[in-house]
Each structure stands twice: as structure tokens, then as C-alpha cells.
Amino acid sequence: MQKVEQSTHSPSYLPGSPRDFKQSQVGLTIAWELDFWGLYRRNIESGRATVAENEAGYQQAAVLLAAQVASAYVSSRTFEAQLQVARDNIILQREAARIAQTRWDYGEASELDARQAISQLAQTESQLPTLEASLEQARDALAVLLALTPVEVDALLAAGGPIPEVDPRIAVGIPRDVLRQRPDVQQAEFAAAAQSAQIGVAKAALFPSFSLGGTFGYATSNVGRSSLGDLFQWDSHTLQVGPSFTFPIFNYGRLEAQVRVQDALFRQAVLNYQNVVLQAQQDVEDARASLAGSVQSVAELEASAAAARRATELSLVQYKEGETNYTTVLTTQQTELAVENALVSARGAVPQAAIALYRALGGGWQEAPTP
């Protein structure tokens, strides 16, 4: 209800009628615009592409999280293996130091041998705190990724375990079109599609719009024989129906400029899509090459580690029998430690490369069945 005050000069003013009166009205207005130029269809198309783009972004985040969890786990197991290598070498070096000390005590060797053995042992033992700190950091990173406390992660990993092994055949026969399953590629593709639809929206605004509308309601006042209580009487109903036409003549230049803006944004989205695809190709090829190289390194380092362990055993036996000096023992022990550390690192690099390939391919994939 509203209070109305009209002027005596108003065209609707009737002589003798009150200038001030109250009026009540209620109604329903419906309008329908004919979508001749695809304004609403293109808007819907753009909205659906935007939804798909956001879903792809969510999938990309999930892939990255899974890869980071796996990488942190592999790092943890790799540091555990390196710690075990260091501890095993410390046991051997302690035995070698004991032998060198005994031979010096009995006058069969010089003090230099004993001091070299002690120095090598201390140097190897100094690696333990650094490796333990690295292991703790890897487990802390895993705890953050899993939303667990470090104590809970320590309990999960307490049983220990080897570095995960990977079948190198997973990198064989991967088709290039599998890159389209990468979420970031899909995200860039949907972003370009959404922007393309916005060009259609901007173009549709250049043309005239046609709409049909109508209003149905009730209106009454307290003038004359009318009463505010007669609002919902049928005699108080009102009806207005008619078409409308709108043509943007005076702001046509601004609308044309908006079309050019949307077209420029679309070209930018297409370039971004191309760059994402090229980067995806590079990621896959780099990960495949890294995986193949790591597998080959493991095979070669396993043979080298076996030879280094045998050389250390022989040098220690020869030193006990006085057939060689302690420098030979020292050299073989250093070589064994270096080669075994390299072997552990290479074994850890294999699953890390597989994780990188998983991330490069945008998540899980299925290997083609072997004929």
C-alpha cells in the first residue's frame, strides 16, 4: 500500500476527486526474450565450460597431491636404505680399525694404519646425523601431506620396508594423445572453450533483442466507491501484455570494442592451451628418459657394488696376512661406500621417475595388454 499525492495539473486528475489517496496493488510480471542470436545459449555454453575447467583444476590438485605423497614416501625409504648402508659399512670399518690397532699393538703395522682406520670410521659415522635428519624431514613432509602428526607417520613407517620397485615397461607404448587426459591440459582446453563462447555473447549484444512480457495483478484505492478491502476482487484485476524491442544504436561502438576484447582473450587462451600441451609433451619425454636411465644405472651399479664388496673383503684378508698396506683397505672401503650409496640413490630414482611420469601423464593410466 502506498500514499499517492497528485497535482491538479496531472492529466489523470479528475476535478472533484481528492488529491491525496491511498492505493494498494499486487501482481506478477513475466518476461520472455527471444534468443534469436544465441545470447543465452552461448552464456550457458560458457558456464558449462567454466564448470568443467574448475573440475579439471580439482583433478590436477588431486594428481599433484598423490604424486607428492608418493615422492615423500620414496624419499623416506631411500634415506632409510642409505642409513642402513652407512651402518653396515661402520660395522666393517670398526672391524678393520680393530685389526689395524691390533697389528700396531703387536708391531706388525705402523701407527699410520691405525690412525687412517679411525679417521675413516669417524668420517663414515659423521654421515649418520645428516641422514637421520633428512629422514626425519621426509617423514615430516609426508605427515603434512597426509594431514597426520609426525608420531602417527612414524608408527606407519616403523615396520620398515624396501624402496618401491617399478616395472620399467610402464614407459613403453604410451600414445601421445594420452596427454589429453592431463587435468591441466583439459583445464586450458575448457578455459579456451569458455572464452570462445564469450565471443558469441558479445556478438549477440550487437543485434536487436525481442521480448514478450505481461503483468497480471490487482489494484484498488480509497477514491470514490473503491475500497482498499476490494484488492482481491475480480473487478480490481489488471492485465498488461505486449512485446518490446531494443536496439543498441547509441552504444554500438562500445559493443564492437567488447567483441574485439573477447576475441583477444580467446586468442590468449588458445596460446596458453598450446603452451600447456607442449610443456606436457616435454614432461612426459623427460620422465620416460629419466626412468629408462635410472633403470640402466641400477643394473650397472648392482654389478659395481658386488665387485666393490668383494674387493673390500679381499683387501682386508690380504692386510691381515701382511700382503698389502692399509691404504688399499682404505681405498676399497671408500669405494664400496660410495658405490653402495650411489646404488641406493639410483634405486630411489627409479620410482621417483615413475612418479614424475605419473604426474606428467595426469594421473593413472592403463598399460596396453602384452600380446
Write down the mean pLDDT value for the chain: 83
Distance CA 80, CA 161 (A): 9
pLDDT surpasses 50 at 367: no
Q: Which three cell numbers stand for residue 290?
A: 629419466
Residue 242 half-sphere exposure, CB side, CA atoms within 13 Å?
A: 4
Residue 229's SS3 state is helix
Looking at residue 15, its pLDDT comes to 53
Looking at residue 228, its pLDDT comes to 62
Do 228 and 220 contact (CB within 8 A), yes or no?
A: yes
CA 255 to chain centre: 38
Q: Beta-carbon neighbour count of residue 172 at 10 Å?
A: 12
Burial class (CB in 10 A: 0-12, 13-18, 19+), 161: exposed
Distance CA 51, CA 48 (A): 5
Do 142 and 118 contact (CB within 8 A), yes or no?
A: no
Cα–Cα distances (Å) from 206 to 34, 191, 254, 255, 257, in that order, read: 15, 24, 10, 6, 11
Model confidence band, residue 69 (pLDDT cutoffs 50, 70, 90): very high
Beta-carbon contacts of residue 70 (< 8 Å; ≥ 6 apart):
351, 355, 358
Domains in the chain with CATH codes = 42-207+252-360 (1.20.1600.10)
- The fraction of the chain above a pLDDT of 70, given in percent, is 84
Do 232 and 218 contact (CB within 8 A), yes or no?
A: yes
pLDDT surpasses 70 at 368: no
Distance CA 367, CA 40 (A): 43
pLDDT surpasses 80 at 176: no
Per-residue pLDDT reduced to its tens digit, 246-287: 777 777 788 889 999 999 999 999 999 999 999 988 888 898
Per-residue pLDDT reduced to its tens digit, 189-201: 999 999 999 999 8
Distance CA 192, CA 198 (A): 10
Q: Beta-carbon neighbour count of residue 167 at 10 Å?
A: 10
Distance CA 135, CA 127 (A): 12
Distance CA 49, CA 191 (A): 7
Pick the closest to residue 79 from 91, 68, 71 (CA basis).
71
DSSP per residue, 49-80: HHHHHHHHHHHHHHHHHHHHHHHHHHHHHHHH
Our CA angle for 300, 301, 306, nearest 5°, is 110
Residue corresponding to grid cell 563462447: 197
Amino acid at 352: Q
